[in-house]
Amino acid sequence: MASFQTPDYSHLTQQDYENVYEPAEDTFLLMDALEQDIDNIHQLKPSVCVEIGCGSGLVITFLAKILNNSAMYIATDRNAIAAECAKRTASQNHVVVEVVTSDLLQALQPQLNGGIDLLLFNPPYVVTPSEEVDSSSIASSWAGGIDGRQVIDRLLPQIPQLLSHKGIFYLLVLRENKPDEIRKAMANMGFQSEKVLQRKTGPEHLSIIKFYRDPDR
Ligand SMILES: C[S@@+](CC[C@H](N)C(=O)[O-])C[C@H]1O[C@@H](n2cnc3c(N)ncnc32)[C@H](O)[C@@H]1O
């Protein structure tokens, strides 16, 4: 299997990480899943690739690099400082990523509806009190509220209208997010799913689930 270099993020400083999620095990797991699935991604020939909650911009920049910049890359984050960092990361690595400050993909709808071939989300997934979700502090990078699902559950019903007919969606989840329940909810909306990769990092059991339309539905 080809091995791809992590994009350069040496331009980001501890001061940036006071406001923006610092790349961590979950970030690297998502990049590893993309690398592992690269043959399928090449076959897909994606024209529009989108990351929600891009943080530092490392993952969408990685995707643009491994696909040789051959598609349109768009990223969002609700945190405007993260959006700025992501722009710097793309430029540092000589790839073009359109970064927009937005809650989920709200600022890009309805334009993007039905047009996303590859969607990525490493969400705020930690189980926390609900009040911490969507706060203006760095805690909103990881605070997922009840079952760590409050942000994930707002996105899921939008997936059918966002993805193109061939679109795929890679979602990072924690065991406490009840991945089987998420897969069932997506199956009810006509999506098949498979676990691409899983890893235990410290106390966290993380996995990457890939969703795609069930051809029989
Ligand atoms: C776990 S971090 C992942 C950051 C980056 N993708 C990575 O893998 O390192 C989650 C990111 O989602 C962003 N986020 C949280 N809620 C969001 C929302 N409702 N809409 C858009 N972005 C959101 C946070 O600001 C944070 O940057």
Q: Does the residue 18 lie in any domain?
A: no
So what's the pLDDT on residue 2?
60
Give yes or no for residue 1 having a pLDDT over 60.
no
Q: Report whether 173 contacts 163 (CB < 8 A).
A: no
The answer as to whether 107 is a domain residue is yes
Domain assignment of residue 1, yes or no: no
At 196 the pLDDT is: 98
Nearest CA to ligand 1 atom 11: 53
Does residue 61 line the site of ligand 1, with CB under 6 A?
A: no
Query: What is the atom index within ligand 1 of the atom nearest the CA of 79?
Result: 25
Residue 116 lies in a domain: yes
212 Cβ inside 6 Å of ligand 1: no
Number of structural domains (the chain) is: 1
Domain ranges, residue 145: 25-213
114, part of any domain: yes
What would the mean pLDDT of 137-147 be, rounded to a whole number?
Answer: 95
| Closest-lying ligand 1 atom to the alpha carbon of residue 26 | 8
Protein residue closest via CA to atom 19 of ligand 1 = 103
Residue 113 lies in a domain: yes
Confidence (pLDDT) at 173 = 98
Tell me what the mean pLDDT of segment 51-72 comes to: 97
Q: Which of 30, 59, 77, 174 to probe ligand 1 with, by most ligand atoms within 8 A of CB?
A: 77
How large is the average pLDDT for residues 182-197?
Answer: 98
Q: What is the pTM of this model?
A: 0.98
DSSP calls for the chain: ----PPPP-TT--HHHHTTSPPP-HHHHHHHHHHHHTHHHHHHH--SEEEEES-TTSHHHHHHHHHTTT-SEEEEEES-HHHHHHHHHHHHHTT---EEEE-STTGGGTTTTTT-EEEEEE----B---GGGTT-SSGGGGTB--GGG-HHHHHHGGGHHHHEEEEEEEEEEEEGGG-HHHHHHHHHHTTEEEEEEEEEEETTEEEEEEEEEE-TT-
- Judge whether 5 lies within some domain: no
User: Which CATH number does the domain housing residue 97 bear?
Assistant: 3.40.50.150
The pLDDT of residue 16 is above 60: yes
pLDDT computed for residue 172 by the predictor: 98
Kindly state whether residue 12 falls inside one of the protein's structural domains: no
Please choose from 9, 49, 54, 87 the residue to mutate so as to test ligand 1's pocket, defined by most ligand atoms within 8 A of CB: 54
